[in-house]
A and B are shown apart, each in its own frame.
Chain A
Amino acid sequence: MRSSKARINRRSANKRGAGRLSAAIGMIVLLMCACNRPTATGGELHVTIKSDPKTLNPLMAEDAASDVVRYLTGGVLIRVNRKTQENEPELASSWTVDENGRRITFKLRDGVNFSDGSPFSSADVVATVNAALDPNLHSPKADPLRAGGKAAVSAPDAHTVRMEFEHPIAGIERLFDEIAISPERMAGKADSATVLGPFSVSEQRAGEYLLLKRNPYYWKKDAEGHPLPYLERIRLYVLGNRDTELIRFRQGDIQLIDNMPPDLYEQLHSEDASAARELGPSIESEELWFNQVARAPLPTYRKAWFRSRNFRRAVSMAINRDDLARVAFRGHATPSFGLLSPANKLWFDKNLKPQQYDPNAALELLKSEGFHKDGDVLKDKAGNAVSFSLITNAGNKPRERMGSLIQQDLQQIGIQVNFVALDFPSIAERIMKTYDYDACMLGLTNVDLDPNGQANVWVSSADLHQWNPAQKSPETAWEAEIDKYMRAQASTLDRSQRKADFDKVQEIAADQQPMLYLVDKNALVAVSPKVKNADPVVLTPQTYWNVEYLSLSK
């Protein structure tokens, strides 16, 4: 009995051992499978948009919220990689630009479907681009393409698209990063529900949220061949209040925040340093400019100051940009070099030096222009005390702090600054219509890294040529020269030649200082530890530019 029992026990022990072995093998297999799978799939990512999107038609997206929806849902031919800033193939597997920039030919990716399962072909691209170019639709996304004059878009076969323009368009490839391809039947009236991007619009509640669901037919796969995106849904909460956004982030209700104001970033950093991330200079800068409009209702002597290169340079020299960055932005900004931030890796002119703070040199420069100190007050040749008003929009704390700092900096050289914070519509009225202001301080966001994106500010006929907009012909020699170099860089495909031309523009701008570039804001974001594969960058969307690779841990 003993031996038999022992045998039975051994047998059962053998059975148990085999069971354990198979369980262990099973576990290893499971683990191996798990290793090959993304860290987590499914889940719902929560982020915010500051207002309801004005449109879900990707060709009409102009406001920030609509643009976020376009980015998350739209499939594009070429994607500008937000990290490397290089063009990457997306729906187009390759492309060629020839005829000196007048023609671009795309080879389309095979086996791609829309989110409703219908196949994608060159006919969809032709229809979308034609709709974008249609002057009746007036798509803001196609404005740069329309600059190429008459266009002919054709599809020689189901996987090839050819576009020919009357005039060459420099950097034409990048423009297709903005044009989301819609099905042919919906071209020009698409609603982001049938898309080629990683997500499609599923539900919208005005003033509350916009729900995006995973596109099951999305063409992209990860390195192991798993379908993307990993996330099941994205909920875009409509939330304009930045304080509330931070509170909800702390509560775990929101997982990512882009473009944080320095004060809120500091708050988060003091509580959870790992969630608050500073990414270095962004492409958003803060500027001050003087009103140089000839018909502005200002005294003649003031117009003369503002039109004087040395006056502008002296004011620029007397502003302590290090203090602006350190005090106004709590150290989360970098003194500006000029019209481009170093964050624009491809086009920034590395020969430029930041403006040095030197009030004594500023005073000397002013003296060379006939200004003189009378006690603590700076006066011009005619004896007019130098003072001007500086307007900015109320409610922007760093900007209001900058105003106070500039006020004190300029007081040191005898200039009195009346700093006035106004509501934005009043500012727009003054700087765009009545021109009844002396100087203005605002921030400009560069939405396009390419120099062509600067044309709406730097070409003298442009409406956003803020110091003296919409000139019929350049009023100064240096503006004529900038126009010349802007045209030159736009009419060649040779990138090094374009760079050389645009460097000239940057150098003239630094020499003449029609815009006093103050600081480049650092990109500040918040990333919840729950979000895997987040790799924030300075370009928008900063935290979810690689949305297809993001996942949430359980």
Chain B
Amino acid sequence: MTRTRWIAAGILALVLMVALCASVLAPAPYAKQFRNNTDNAPSRQFPIGTDELGRDRLSRLLYGMRVSLLLAPAAALISTMLAALIGGAGAYLGGRWDRATVLFIDLFLSLPWLFLLLTMRALLPLDLPALTSVTVTFALLGVLGWAASARIVAASVRSLRESDFVLHARAAGCQPWRLLVHHLLPNVKPILLAQFWISVPLFILTEANLGMLGLGVTEPLPSWGNLLRELENYTALRHSPWLWIPLASLILVVSLFQFIVAGEEYS
């Protein structure tokens, strides 16, 4: 690991730690409405002000980060594993299996997932607790978000399958299982890792977009998604620069992920 990656990972770990300690660090409960202090500017009581319902923005940011930073990697893990399984297996088996996998991936990518997500949310029970609802949303993202990664994994496995060292291994009588575990997987690992790190910020942003459509995290639970909704009011942004903080923190985290993925290029 390069120095840049170590620094990025260190800062990210710090951010994650802060988010995990939200219940200790937050000045107020994230749902508590101070109704006489709506849209307040930063003060000692409210370090980055209050939102339109008078809720402490810092507390909501900390809890929101915790929700997004815990669930987005979990969703990314699900999608990367599915990508490895479907894309990798199809390409490894080759022939008609490979063609079928490519067809399946293309079909999956062409489906209107936004409408499917809307339908799925509408089908969920209404009395689902907020935390369960957000977990289900991220799980859905994980289950549905594997196709693009699978295509890359499949391409990589396909080229490895035809490479000289695999041919040599086969010629030397290497069993398929051993070939997969000892020769192919170690070579695909960097690609899987990159797909994982790319998927994490992607899912955070997708949740933010879904939040705009009423999907995802339900009130009063905060997430980066519903915190970013305040950016819709561009007039307020001019007068209240502290409204940029959730976006700035998201950009920071996404950038850290990118440094981890492509750290060598910055070293």
* A interface residue numbers (CB < 8 A to B): 243, 263, 267, 270-271, 323, 326-327, 387-389, 391, 393-395, 400-401, 403-405, 407-408, 418-423, 426, 429, 436-438
Contact = CB atoms under 8 A, between A and B. Distances in A.
A388 B38 CA distance: 27
Contact of A423 (B33, B53, B118): B118
A327 B38 CA distance: 7
B220 interface: yes
| Shortest 3 CB-CB contacts between residues of A and residues of B | A394-B214, A389-B126, A426-B122
B190 interface: no
Contact of A408 (B31, B38, B121): B31
A532 B218 CA distance: 46
Given A394-B215, A395-B214, A405-B53, 16 more contacts: A323-B35, A327-B38, A327-B54, A389-B126, A389-B127, A394-B214, A401-B53, A408-B220, A418-B126, A419-B219, A420-B126, A422-B122, A423-B122, A426-B122, A429-B122, A437-B126
Contacts of A394: 213-215
B97 to A, nearest CB: 39
A519 to B, nearest CB: 15
A422 B214 contact: yes
B121 A422 contact: yes
A391 B126 contact: yes
A407 B126 contact: no
A301 B215 CA distance: 29
16 contacts: A263-B233, A267-B235, A270-B235, A271-B235, A327-B33, A327-B53, A389-B126, A393-B214, A405-B35, A408-B220, A418-B218, A419-B218, A419-B219, A422-B121, A426-B118, A426-B121
Contacts of B232: 243
A330 to B, nearest CB: 8
Nearest to A395: B214
Contacts of A401: 52-53
Given A405-B33, A407-B219, A418 B235 contact: no
B28 to A, nearest CB: 13
Contact of A395 (B35, B52, B53, B213): B213
A177 to B, nearest CB: 37
B176 interface: no
Interface residues of B, number: 27
A82 to B, nearest CB: 31
B7 to A, nearest CB: 39
A401 B118 CA distance: 21
A253 to B, nearest CB: 18
Contacts of A426: 118, 121-122
Contacts of B100: none
B127 A387 contact: yes
Nearest to A411: B31
A408 B32 CA distance: 8
Contacts of B38: 327
Contacts of B10: none
A403 B219 contact: yes
Interface string B216-248: 001110000000000011011001000000000
A227 B33 CA distance: 57
Contacts of A404: 33, 53, 219-220
A403 B118 CA distance: 20
B109 interface: no
B213 A407 contact: no
A420 B218 contact: yes
B214 A418 contact: no
B128 A418 contact: yes
A418 B53 contact: no
Contacts of A326: 35
Contacts of A400: 219
A391 to B, nearest CB: 6
A327 B218 contact: no
A400 B51 CA distance: 14
A391 B33 CA distance: 21
A387 B129 CA distance: 11
Contacts of B54: 327
A388 B127 CA distance: 7
B140 to A, nearest CB: 16
Contacts of A429: 122
A401 B53 CA distance: 7
B221 to A, nearest CB: 11
Contacts of B233: 263, 267
Contacts of B214: 393-395, 421-423
Contact of B220 (A267, A407, A421): A407
Contact of B33 (A271, A388, A408): A408
Contacts of B121: 422, 426
Contacts of A387: 127
A310 B228 CA distance: 40
A527 B219 CA distance: 36
Nearest to A391: B126
A36 to B, nearest CB: 43
A323 B38 CA distance: 11
Contacts of A405: 33, 35, 53
Nearest to A394: B214
Interface string B181-224: 00000000000000000000000000000001111001110000
- Most chain B beta carbons < 10 A, residue from A323, A403, A436: A323
B232 to A, nearest CB: 8
Contacts of B239: 270
B135 to A, nearest CB: 15
A327 B126 contact: no
Contacts of A271: 235
A42 to B, nearest CB: 34
B31 A327 contact: no
A426 B125 CA distance: 12
A387 B126 CA distance: 11
Contacts of A403: 219
A395 B118 CA distance: 13
A164 B190 CA distance: 85
A522 B52 CA distance: 19
Contacts of B126: 389, 391, 418, 420, 436-438
Contacts of A420: 126, 218
Interface string B29-41: 0010101001000
B51 to A, nearest CB: 10
A134 B230 CA distance: 51
Contacts of A388: 127
